[in-house]
Amino acid sequence: MDSKKQTPVKYYVGIDVGSASVRAALVDGFGTVVAHADQPIQIWEPQPDHYEQSSADIWAACCSVTKKVVCGVDASQIRGVGFDATCSLVVVDKQFQPLAVNCEGQNYRNVIMWMDHRAVSQVERINATQHRVLSYVGGVMSVEMQPPKLLWLKENLQESCWENAGYFFDLPDFLSWKATGVTARSLCTVVCKWTYTSDGGWDDSFWKMIGLEDLVKDKYEKIGNHVLSPGESVGKGLTPEAAKDLGLPEGIAVAASLIDAHAGGLGVIGADVKGHNLPCENQPITARVAMICGTSSCHMGVSETPIFVPGVWGPYFSAMVPGLWLNEGGQSATGKLIDHVVQGHVAFPELQSKAAASAHSIYTYLNSHLDLIKKSLPVGFLTVDLHVWPDFHGNRSPLTDLTLKGMVVGLTLSRGLDELALIYLATIQAIALGTRHILETMQAAGHHINTLFLCGGLSKNPLFVQMHADITGKPVVLSKEVESVLVGAAILGACASGDFVSIQEAMAKMGKIGRVVQPNHQHKRFYDKKYEVFLKLVEHQREYRSIMNSF
């Protein structure tokens, strides 16, 4: 027997706060997820386009899932913790207690979710300023960013919220504060969602111009005047209180956090692709786009020099990969849209019962049903007369028009399972066509993209993946670990621990390729025609809107 003493395995905890659940994973230094747990969190929708959560509920879920994944593990082997979360807005008072973001005064509901669209009027006024900081968000600020939400709070909850607020956090930064007691912000959050620039910091003139000059007076203490790079160690690590809450030892390294999509990008985009016959092999990472697809979808592309893409957020320096500029395209509703279309169909109860009887998920059953009804045709060709425009929650990229609505062309009086399967297929195709629209806009501006790297819940659906390969004409790489967002969060913890010298080193070591899905180039002409129709749909929507506006 080998008498040499084995080196103990080093572990890192990644904690991911999504829209509807909190997840945690214990990940080793090779990017393998050793343990995984998740827990749902509550969402309130008090009125249309208002979505709220509770920071206390979120933190409690973080503690619960973390305790589960580290149970039975030697605490001395756990080296670091990394958080990622949705870019939701957390409001606390001067004593760090939750402060209501609603007219009902319910303080536990102190989070305005990323997908909340209450601040439409505010964002229109911000965009009308044409301030120079807007050039770093594709020329037009999104209602999902933080400045319009802050302005809404000032204008609608002046006395109850705005005047009593002590701190406004992006949710990822709230979590690192909760863990360490340090109010430092991540460069990722403040650059991507708050208009901070990595070279110039905050722009006083912007905040004064939009009516939020109060934030300038206290030297930005409320929104952050201490900024750290993602993966940088925060303070002295876990506080005694947070350590007890999470079931971890005091002082473990805690990393400056990332937005959830950016953590997903970190978990997949740097993987070693040698031997997979991919066009991005032996090319810089700038040939890749990471697509994180869950409730919504984000398209993350990096470049060595800043590229300004109309309708696409960024360029943001070092917001995801240190030293590289990030552009971020996105679709506000993808997984949520598929659920909405399928669950709202009259044949959904029939689908539920048949899927349950076959012991399959509803989407696995739908995929199988499409294979049954396709006959001799390729599955995708079933929608030759059925077309969807997917912006049921507005368009984030590349049109930046939150007033756009969803469209379906080609409906009949049929109400059965076949028709449900077809509208499901057409919706997935519409999402993939939207991705093609974003990629073509990025490439027209100067990006050179040849490979897609997918992660997130929708990447588990083989139909979704194949449609993205066929419609974009690019190979799709799936990571070995399905939970790439959690791997990305763990990479942050690994860097904070000092076990890796850089994010890039950790990405290459901990990001692993699983499967590659190639496009079927024989279907190119059909999807080129579908894309033509896709672009016509939005033309027609704008045309009929113009007609009705003249009424």
Quick check: helix, strand or coil at residue 392? strand
**Does the structure show a pLDDT above 60 at 1?**
no
Q: What is the DSSP string of 462-510?
A: HHHHHHHHHHHTS-EEEESSS-HHHHHHHHHHHHHHTSSS-HHHHHHHH
Dist. CA 463–CA 457, nearest whole Å: 13
pLDDT above 80: residue 166? yes
Please identify which residue in the block is written with the tokens 């993205």. Answer: 468
Nearest by Cα to 15 from 7, 6, 25, 5:
25
71-100 pLDDT tens trace: 999 999 999 999 999 999 999 999 999 999
Residue 529, both tokens: 């025609």
In this prediction, residue 523 has a pLDDT band, given cuts at 50, 70 and 90, of very high
Backbone phi, psi, residue 259, to 5°: -65, 150
What is the structure's pLDDT at 199? Answer: 81
Strand, coil or helix: what is 331? strand
List, for residues 369-400, the tens digit of each pLDDT value: 999 999 888 999 999 999 999 999 999 999 99
- Specify whether the CB–CB gap between 205 and 164 falls below 8 A: no
Mean pLDDT, range 485-509, rounded to an integer: 95
User: What does pLDDT average to over the chain?
Assistant: 95
CA separation for the pair 180, 255 (Å, rounded): 10
- Condensed to tens digits (0 to 9), the pLDDT of residues 290-303 reads 999 999 999 999 99
Residue 421: pLDDT over 80? yes
Per DSSP bridges, beta strands 513-517 and 476-479 are antiparallel
How far is Cα 133 from Cα 169, in angstroms, rounded to an integer?
20
Q: How far is CA 266 from CA 290, 466, 492, in A?
A: 9, 23, 9
pLDDT over 90 percentage in the chain = 93
Q: Over the stretch 317-362, which tens digit does the pLDDT of each residue have?
A: 999 999 999 999 999 999 999 999 999 999 999 999 999 999 999 9
Q: What is the mean pLDDT of residues 452-466?
A: 96
Strand partners, 456: none
Q: What is the pLDDT of residue 78?
A: 97
Q: Any idea which residue has 């080196």 for tokens? A: 7
Residue 4: pLDDT band (50, 70, 90) is: low
Residue 198's pLDDT is 80
| pLDDT at residue 362, as a whole number | 98
pLDDT of residue 5: 60
CB 421 within 8 A of CB 370: yes
Q: How far apart are CA 399 and CA 404, in angstroms?
A: 9
- The residue behind tokens 């400045």 is 147
pLDDT band at 8 (very low <50, low <70, confident <90, very high): confident
Q: Estimate the crossing angle of helix 417-445 against helix 462-472, to 10 degrees.
A: 40
Beta strands in 56-213 (DSSP E): 78-85, 89-93, 111-112, 165-170, 185-186
Q: What is the pLDDT of residue 482?
A: 83
3-state secondary structure 235-295: CCCCCHHHHHHHCCCCCCEEECCEEHHHHHHHHHCCCCCCCCCCCCCCCCHHHEEEEEECC
Mean pLDDT of 242-262: 97
Lowest mean pLDDT among 286-290, 509-513, 528-532: 509-513
Reported as a single tens digit per residue, the pLDDT across 118-140 is 999 999 999 999 999 999 998 89
| Res 464 pLDDT > 90 | yes
Contact 86, 260 (CB under 8 A): yes
Domains recognised in the chain with CATH numbers:
11-256 (3.30.420.40), 279-474+520-546 (3.30.420.40)
Q: Which of 385, 386, 405 is closest to 394 using CA atoms?
A: 405
Do residues 69 and 36 make contact, with C-beta atoms less than 8 angstroms apart? yes
Read off the pLDDT band of 200 (50, 70, 90): confident
Eight-state DSSP code of residue 190: H
Q: Write down the pLDDT at residue 551.
A: 80
Looking at beta carbons, which pairs linking 275-280 to residues 24 or more positions away fall under 8 Å?
276/477, 276/513, 276/516, 278/451, 278/475, 278/477, 278/516, 279/450, 279/451, 279/475, 280/450, 280/451
The one-letter amino acid at 185: R
pLDDT band for 305, please (50, 70, 90 cuts): very high
Question: Which of 273-282, 422-431, 525-534 has the weakest average pLDDT?
Answer: 273-282
Residues sharing a CB contact under 8 Å with residue 70, sequence separation 6 or more, in sequence order: 13, 26, 35, 78, 247, 248
Which residues, including other chains, have CB under 8 Å from residue 361's CB and lie 6 or more apart? 355
Q: Report the C-alpha gap between 426 and 432 in whole angstroms.
A: 10
Q: What is the DSSP letter of 33?
A: E
State percent of the chain over pLDDT 70. Answer: 99
pLDDT > 60? residue 468: yes
Q: List the one residue out of 345, 347, 434, 349 whose CA is nearest residue 388.
A: 434
3-class SS of residue 409: strand
Determine phi and psi for 508, rounding to 5 degrees. Answer: -65, -35
Closest CA to 259 of 212, 320, 214: 320
